[in-house]
Amino acid sequence: MKPILVTDDIYKLTMNVHDMLFEEMWEIPNGVTLNSFLVKGEKLALIDGVCGWDGAPERLYDLLDQLGLKIGDVDCIVINHMEPDHSGWIEEIRTLKPDVQIYCTKMAARLLESFFGYTTNVNVIKNGQTLDLGGGKELQFIQQPNVHWPDTMFTYETSTKTLFTCDMFGSYGTCEDRDFDDQFSKEDREFFWQEQIRYYSNVLVTFNKNAIMAIKKAQSLEPNVIAPGHGPIYRQSPAAIIENYDKIANFLVDAPLDEVALLWGSMYGLTEKAVKHIKKVLNKKGVPFHEIHMPHEPIGKVMSMCMRCKAIIIAAPTYENNLFPGVVSALEELGKKKIGKKKVLYTGSFGWSGGGYQEVQRIIEHHKLDWELAEGIPFAGSPNEEDLQKISTAIDALLA
């Protein structure tokens, strides 16, 4: 791994991570890239860090060494966000250079104390405050709370108009040799678009209102470069990643995706008969759909697939007067994350009493989801011809 020149005297120090669960819960089949940045003025600033995963400190030394630098040359650390995937290097650096100056928000300072016991050489920034690094480099700190934790901020290098955004504008998917958007093939662009949706649906969607504010702030700055803590750097078209995030934060309602999430579970194959019919109908219509077979699918896939689809078809039986638990857990997570603006249809089998549809209603109401729920189609035992016809008609209405 080599240090990568982003723009004039600004370097990306990066590592690609595979074979782990992000935040110990989200599967990342395509890995993730963690980015840290060096800004070289007369003083040397390190912005963001990466987790202590996979020999990170040793890699930092190696990357600095390749630039003819060592830890003792770092004058300041800028913490945009204290989550350990970005702050894992701090302890190592403070041990080697106790007088390194840390710049962060008041909330991040609290976490520095509770995580590491640091209270000295911690400079709490004011919103808009600047730090002159000399040599024409100036950092401006812009508080941008709750993208992702309350401690978060952007850092803006004013001479190059480089905006360091940490989690915001990030994506899953390792960069490998795709560190910049100007290196993307058409396939890479599509790959990272999907990975942005998946990352956002797992990590940021709960903070949607704050993300929308952050999008507006980024738009107002008109940066030349957007440098997130995860994924590629956007320097050919920073407006494109802002636009992508704007679409995602608006639940892709205006995106050209017209897809269906088929969220289903079946205990003994009776509801599955309806699922087979639904798939036949969708295939006949040529509507792309994503099957989420619960409880066999990871929760990260539930989030990302439901996020990207305009409609969700729930097919699950009644279980003890309520809904099949595998699907309940998926809906509860969607509710907690407040993944909104969906058209939703329910169908499913029941034995002697229903209850599945009512639980879908309860979950939507409980989480105040702005979902448009169609009339449910519960059926006794196996779906008969009339039930299947009702499902077909309801799918027509759902996709109208």
* Residue 318: other Cβ atoms inside 10 A: 23
Report the length, in residues, of the chain.
Answer: 400
CA atoms within 13 A on the CB side of 88: 19
CA atoms within 13 A on the CB side of 352: 1
**Considering beta carbons, is residue 39 or 79 the nearer one to ligand FEO?**
79
**How many residues of this chain interact with ligand FEO, rule: CB under 6 A?**
8
Stretch that binds ligand FEO, among 38-46, 82-90, 154-162, 298-306 (CB under 6 A): 82-90
Q: How far is CA 155 from the centre of its chain?
A: 20
Sign of CA dihedral 2, 192, 335, 148: positive
CB of 163 to ligand FEO, least distance (A): 16
CB of 81 to ligand FEO, least distance (A): 6
Distance CA 23, CA 44 (A): 30
Indicate the residue whose CB is closest to ligand FEO.
83
Q: How far is CA 88 from the centre of its chain?
A: 20
**Considering beta carbons, is residue 230 or 273 the nearer one to ligand FEO?**
230
CB of 33 to ligand FEO, least distance (A): 11
CB of 361 to ligand FEO, least distance (A): 33
Q: Which one among 83, 151, 157, 387 touches ligand FEO, defined by CB under 6 A?
A: 83
Does residue 173 interact with ligand FEO by CB under 6 A?
Answer: no
Beta strands in 105-197 (DSSP E): 122-124, 130-134, 137-143, 153-157, 162-166
When computed from its CA atoms, the radius of gyration of the chain, rounded to whole angstroms, is 24
Q: Which one among 33, 39, 80, 85 touches ligand FEO, defined by CB under 6 A?
A: 85
- Spell out, one character per residue from 192 to 231, where the chain touches ligand FEO: x when CB under 6 A holds, - when not: -------------------------------------xx-
Stretch that binds ligand FEO, among 69-77, 83-91, 212-220, 374-382 (CB under 6 A): 83-91
Pairing of strands 342-350, 377-380: parallel
Q: Is 177 exposed, middle or buried (0-12, 13-18, 19+ CB in 10 A)?
A: exposed
**Considering beta carbons, is residue 167 or 181 the nearer one to ligand FEO?**
167
SS3 28: coil
Nearest to 310 by CA among 244, 247, 388, 243: 247
CB of 115 to ligand FEO, least distance (A): 14
CB of 170 to ligand FEO, least distance (A): 7
- Spell out, one character per residue from 102 to 141, where the chain touches ligand FEO: x when CB under 6 A holds, - when not: ----------------------------------------
Q: Which one among 40, 86, 217, 273 touches ligand FEO, defined by CB under 6 A?
A: 86
Q: How far is CA 292 from the centre of its chain?
A: 19
**Considering beta carbons, is residue 23 or 132 the nearer one to ligand FEO?**
23
Distance CA 286, CA 299 (A): 27
Residues that bind ligand FEO (CB under 6 A): 81, 83, 85-86, 148, 167, 229-230
